[in-house]
Amino acid sequence: MRYFVRFLIQVMQVINEIAVLQSVLTTFRAQGKTIGLVPTMGALHAGHASLVRRSVQENDITVVSVFLNPTQFNDKKDLEHYPRTLDADCELLDQCGADLVFAPSVSEIYPEPDTRHFSYPPTDSVMEGAFRPGHFNGVCQIVSKLFSYVQPDRAYFGEKDFQQIAVIRRMVEDLGFDLTIVPCPVIRQEDGLAMSSRNALLSPEERTLAANIYRVMKESFSLQTSVQATHDYVVDSINAISGLKVQYYNIVDGKSLADVDSWEDSDDIVGCITVFCGATPIRLIDHIRYK
């Protein structure tokens, strides 16, 4: 019924230009409507759909950005291989009830190179920050631009990119954006594999292997041993599976992302992992909350 009513009043609009986006949003804001933003890089899946549905429930207008941001890719091959599926993305977004899709070109967003430098250690210097230098700088560049264009009341991010949320929270504080960050839970497939756009790049065999990542982390949850032994169990068990190689497994405080040595160090403890899967290989990230 809701979709029928919505269809009568408003059809999802796809916008490519910043000026058009801003003018449409100015009208909505003048009508007192609240705005939710879901930033994405496209190749959308059920995880993204859950963010969009949540935004549609909590805001009058939902804007979804679909922009494969080059400045956050330190590996150009990774950018080249990233799946691009705008037509299918728009279909899914329409079904989810999004109002506006913002799908700009690279030159629209970066007519000049973005020379701004963001630095929020330790959140952006450990784990992904250490292994993908410049990655979070690129994320902050694009997310700060999107926040400025859209001026959302709420912005929705998947907890799958656990570290990204911690970095964006620091940026929001630093730049004084007046909005609420809404973290949304990881959506998993039946065998536990976290939904990710990169899963589309896995062969069926690699896809089966990848399910071991969360299985092993979940097993480690019930071990009840020291932090170091839990860490070693996860790394050794995953590395023992041919086709999987752990890049890092850090057991950290869920806010500062600093390593913890003991379960008593914090009441918010998360294990964050990155694993290379298969021959290409595809880099997969995941996390588990211990406390």
What is d(CA 288, CA 159) in angstroms, rounded to the nearest whole number? 10
Q: Which residues pair with 270 in a beta bridge?
A: 252, 289
* Catalytic, out of 48, 117, 135, 231: 48
Nearest approach, Cβ of residue 269 and ligand PAF (Å): 23
Choice between 139 and 202, CB closer to ligand PAF: 139
Around Cβ 281, how many Cβ atoms within 10 Å?
16
Q: How many helices (H) and strands (E) does the chain have?
A: 11, 9
Choice between 120 and 290, CB closer to ligand PAF: 120
Return the residue matching tokens 């709420």: 154
Nearest approach, Cβ of residue 161 and ligand PAF (Å): 5
What is d(CA 267, CA 15) in angstroms, rounded to the nearest whole number? 44
Give the up-direction half-sphere exposure of residue 87: CA atoms within 13 A in the CB hemisphere: 0
Choice between 40 and 230, CB closer to ligand PAF: 40
Nearest approach, Cβ of residue 165 and ligand PAF (Å): 9
Among candidate residues 242, 240, 244, 235, the one with its CA nearest the CA of residue 283: 244
Nearest approach, Cβ of residue 39 and ligand PAF (Å): 4
Handedness of CA 158, 116, 66, 286 (dihedral sign): negative
* Omega before 133 within 30 of 0, i.e. cis: no
Compute CA 36 distance to the chain's CA centroid, rounded to the nearest angstrom: 16
Choice between 124 and 220, CB closer to ligand PAF: 124
**45 noted as active-site residue:** no
Choice between 137 and 250, CB closer to ligand PAF: 137
Nearest approach, Cβ of residue 16 and ligand PAF (Å): 17
What is d(CA 257, CA 36) in angstroms, rounded to the nearest whole number? 27
**Which residue ranges make up the site for ligand PAF (CB under 6 A)?**
39-41, 69, 72, 139, 142-143, 161, 164
Residues identified as active-site: 48
